Structure 1
Amino acid sequence: MDFKVSIIVPSYNQAQYLGEALQSVLHQTYLNWECIIVDDGSQDKTKEVAELFISKDPRFKYFYQENRGLSSARNFGIDKSVGSILLPLDADDKISGDYIEKALKVLQDDPSIKVVYCEAEKFGKESGLWELETFSLFNLSRMNMIFCSALFRRVEWERVGGFDENMKYGWEDWEFWISILKNGGDVKKLDFVGFYYRITDNNMHRRISRDQYTYLFEYLSVKHADFFVRYFGSFHAMNQDLQKKENEMSAILKSEKFVINLFCKTFFGFSLFNKKRL
């Protein structure tokens, strides 16, 4: 069966990178795709870059909306698409030419698999392999280890109501993976580099405020309370465990032995109390 893949590329003032992202789409060895470019209220030449690629290949399509953020732009693009398989791609990133072909084969061969992704490499201001934690639901309860450019089925996006537009300060990918995976389904990570994550000054220095951080965690904790309780235990147990760790650390820091030992290791390179005696 020849699945149609819809690649969703939101862009907000990223015209300088958009061409590289779209060129990586154009180079796909798998041919049955469409690429939905969503201009999220840009004030640069995003439209001109998109039109250049549309003139090259009608599989590219351009849509504009007033600026509403990344989750909204992805949902808007998916609404305009027709593929049964979805692949988000940020406008400043790239994929390898064989990524879709290899990932799609996994989804075709095994209906139990909900998400397929691959090894990732950084480029731009930094380079090298992007070391990601091994996927498990336990690990997912603590952090996100699946970048946005994974392939998944449209029915999963529909089932959970799309990307949550309340995640307006970030972490929308983490919330989405929790939504579609917390009640079952397998994940496959391919053993090759198929995704390239651009490091820029913006994402190197981007920080969310304490209030934004608190908002996101409180929102996640309420929406997915069942998931976090399953892997952390009850909130009462979580609080007790945290209090125990704080008490233990406080006792260690007050320990004269700890302070002397830390001083010796820092300034003289050995541990006074664990030094082997000849």
Structure 2
Amino acid sequence: MNAKVSVIIPCFNNESTILETLESVYGQSYSDIEVIVINDGSTDDSEKVIATFLEEKTDLVYLKQSNKGPSAARNFGSKIANGQYLIFLDGDDLLHKDYISICVNAFEKNDQLDLVYSDSELFENESGNYNLARFDEITILTQNCFPIVAMIRSESFRDIGQFDENLRIAEDWEMWIRYTRKYSNVKKIDMSLFFYRKRYIKNSITDLNKLNNIMDDAHLYIYNKHYNTYKSVGWNIINLINTRQTYSKYKDKYYNVWYRKLFYLFNRTK
């Protein structure tokens, strides 16, 4: 195995975790790795922590930008990445030491593969499996099926247009929708090789969504962007709202969820 793997790490106020994340990358059993950290306008001491790490790991590529969100940070890193394969690793998560080696090995054994990922585990404030639905072309339209750290081909990622920088939440799900519509040969490694941190401090974008329900607008944006795809599988906006299953599941939330907004958007544009 001699393919280069670029690991792109967006960092926003990860002073307490970024060192552990970097150590999990530099501790990989696979050697041909390019590490790129994008400081996305951190206001804490993330830069000082990374600068200390740089004293020993001079090959680390460290770049800064004003705060633009994880999509923009990942895209920035991908534009300078030299690896044949890409991994996007958030600045508070961890990799098993054999994660990259096992994923590259899967690609090398099957040159038709487009995406490789593994089972995941939660740690810190929660423990256990980080359960995601099994991928198929329908399920990916309803929910995310992959952790952000799934290994993909650099050329394919650039071909589908990278991350949509209009999204600051669910940006990975939206990217996976586009990626798997064109590159759908997926392999899952049935081992827990990725560790997803659930913080003690509830300040992640996902945690804030639970308080502010900011996911509504992201769903609205994604559905509208991919409306023709949803419609092609029978999920036009009218069917989505009026089916018994949808109504039964969401009736108590009907007046504040994304598909109600879509209903009005759809009718305004008719």
TM category, shorter? 0.7 to 0.9
User: For 1:182, what is the secondary structure of its paired residue?
Assistant: helix
Question: C-alpha displacement at 1:155, in angstroms?
Answer: 1.0
- Equivalent residue for 2:91? 91
* Alignment equivalent of 1:229, drawn from 225, 228, 231: 231
Are the structure 2 counterparts of residues 246 and 161 from structure 1 closer, same or farther at C-alpha, using a change threshold of 3 Å?
closer
Give the structure with higher Rg (CA).
Answer: 1
Question: C-alpha displacement at 1:133, in angstroms?
Answer: 1.5
Are the structure 2 counterparts of residues 249 and 71 from structure 1 closer, same or farther at C-alpha, using a change threshold of 3 Å?
closer
- Equivalent residue for 2:158? 158
Whole-angstrom CA distance in 2 between matches of 1:236 and 1:67:
38
Whole-angstrom CA distance in 2 between matches of 1:155 and 1:128:
34
Whole-angstrom CA distance in 2 between matches of 1:205 and 1:100:
28
Question: C-alpha displacement at 1:213, in angstroms?
Answer: 3.2
The amino acid that maps onto 2:28 is Q
* Structure-to-structure mapping, 1:137-216, within 5 angstroms: 137-168=137-168, 170-200=169-199, 201-202=201-202, 203=204, 205-207=207-209, 209-210=212-213, 212-216=214-218
User: For 2:55, what is the secondary structure of its paired residue?
Assistant: helix
Are the structure 2 counterparts of residues 173 and 245 from structure 1 closer, same or farther at C-alpha, using a change threshold of 3 Å?
closer
* Structure-to-structure mapping, 1:1-278, within 5 angstroms: 2-168=2-168, 170-200=169-199, 201-202=201-202, 203=204, 205-207=207-209, 209-210=212-213, 212-242=214-244, 246=247
Identical-residue share of aligned pairs (%): 30
Whole-angstrom CA distance in 1 between matches of 2:8 and 2:154:
12
Whole-angstrom CA distance in 2 between matches of 1:214 and 1:248:
16
The CA deviation string for residues 163-209 of structure 1, in whole angstroms up to 9 with x for no partner, is 100112x0011001001112342111101111001111324742263
The CA deviation string for residues 234-260 of structure 1, in whole angstroms up to 9 with x for no partner, is 444334424x7648999xxxxxxxxxx
Are the structure 2 counterparts of residues 249 and 227 from structure 1 closer, same or farther at C-alpha, using a change threshold of 3 Å?
closer
Whole-angstrom CA distance in 2 between matches of 1:249 and 1:58:
52
- Equivalent residue for 1:256? none
- Equivalent residue for 1:261? none
TM-score scaled to structure 1, two decimals? 0.82
User: For 1:15, what is the secondary structure of its paired residue?
Assistant: coil
Question: C-alpha displacement at 1:52, in angstroms?
Answer: 2.5
The CA deviation string for residues 53-86 of structure 1, in whole angstroms up to 9 with x for no partner, is 2222233111111111110011111112211210
Whole-angstrom CA distance in 2 between matches of 1:29 and 1:18:
20
Of 95-104 and 48-57, deviating more is 48-57
Whole-angstrom CA distance in 2 between matches of 1:28 and 1:245:
45
The CA deviation string for residues 6-53 of structure 1, in whole angstroms up to 9 with x for no partner, is 000111111110000000001101000111011111122212222222
- Equivalent residue for 1:263? none
- Equivalent residue for 2:263? none
Query: Contact between 1:33 and 1:59, CA under 8 Å: does it hold in 2?
Result: no
Question: C-alpha displacement at 1:147, in angstroms?
Answer: 1.1
Gaps of 5+ in 1: 251-278
Query: Contact between 1:112 and 1:185, CA under 8 Å: does it hold in 2?
Result: no
TM-score scaled to structure 2, two decimals? 0.84
- Equivalent residue for 2:254? none
The amino acid that maps onto 1:6 is S
Question: C-alpha displacement at 1:218, in angstroms?
Answer: 2.1
Gaps of 5+ in 2: 252-270
Whole-angstrom CA distance in 2 between matches of 1:247 and 1:157:
38
**How many corresponding residue pairs?**
247
Whole-angstrom CA distance in 2 between matches of 1:22 and 1:34:
12
Whole-angstrom CA distance in 1 between matches of 2:68 and 2:235:
36
Whole-angstrom CA distance in 2 between matches of 1:66 and 1:120:
31
User: For 2:182, what is the secondary structure of its paired residue?
Assistant: coil
Of 25-34 and 178-187, deviating more is 178-187
Are the structure 2 counterparts of residues 245 and 214 from structure 1 closer, same or farther at C-alpha, using a change threshold of 3 Å?
closer
